[in-house]
Amino acid sequence: MSKVAIITGGGSGLGQATAVRLAEEGVNISVVDISEEGGNRTVDMVKDKGADAIFIKADVSKNEDVKNYVDKTVSHFGTIDYFFNNAGISGSGKYFLDSDIDEIEKIVGINLLGALYGVRHVAEVMKKQGSGAIVNTASSAGVIGQDSVVTYSATKHGIIGLTKSMVAEYAKDGLRVNAIAPGPTETEMVRNFYKDNPEMKENAESGIPQKRLGTPEEVAELVTFLLTSKAEYINGEVIRIDGGFTNVK
């Protein structure tokens, strides 16, 4: 029987690349995104690989939307084996004291509350079935401090706390929960951020020992490994994929 994965933020970037990579392994995908255009494009890409896929529109900062995507996935596929808890936004790049409250609330709502809601509802299904693997998307900004992304960094540090504490509570029930901490990666979100803050791209590239940004496909390979049975004894880890960026800070 084919495995089933939910991917939030599946309409672009890391989510889309991971959906395609998992489809190559025969995994069926629930693609969750706020963008219908992006989400449906990913569905087509997954089906082109021979796997099944559905699109579910959701604002992950709303608990009812999160519960809906979990319920619809179980209704359509019968189970949830893997969860890539990935949806997120970066913010404007303003220094914290120049950020308005609306932006702070939006980043926290999507990046942190959205992740908490997702794990809350998905893990309930996984606990009942006695198995499941979750990968949460943290960031290099979740393992070190970085300027211009204070709220974003706070949410990504929170993702790491979520990851480790879930293992403490639910590893005994068959759940595996890990996190990835990507450095600057060539996604649409990052490109838009650097378009508005060009000096930060130059600073990032010069600070990466490999002297380039990562690719979504490289991150997708790591996520696929962590979600599949090849990684059954990896639990509660935060794996950096940043070209050495955080190792030289």
List residues with catalytic annotation.
Answer: 152
Instruction: Give which of 10, 133, 152 is closest to 80, Cα–Cα.
Output: 133
Residues 110, 245: Cα–Cα separation, whole Å: 25
Tokens of 185: 């990666």
Question: What are the distances in angstroms from CA 212 to CA 56, 153, 190, 194, 221?
Answer: 34, 21, 13, 14, 18
Instruction: Tell me the C-alpha distance between 122 and 129, whole Å.
Output: 11
Widest pairwise Cα distance in the chain: 52
Look-up of token digits 């979600």: 227
Whether the Cβ atoms of residue 24 and residue 17 lie closer than 8 Å to each other: no
In the structure encoding, which two tokens stand for residue 125, read together? Answer: 């299904």
Q: 141: buried, middle or exposed (CB in 10 Å: 19+, 13-18, 0-12)?
A: buried
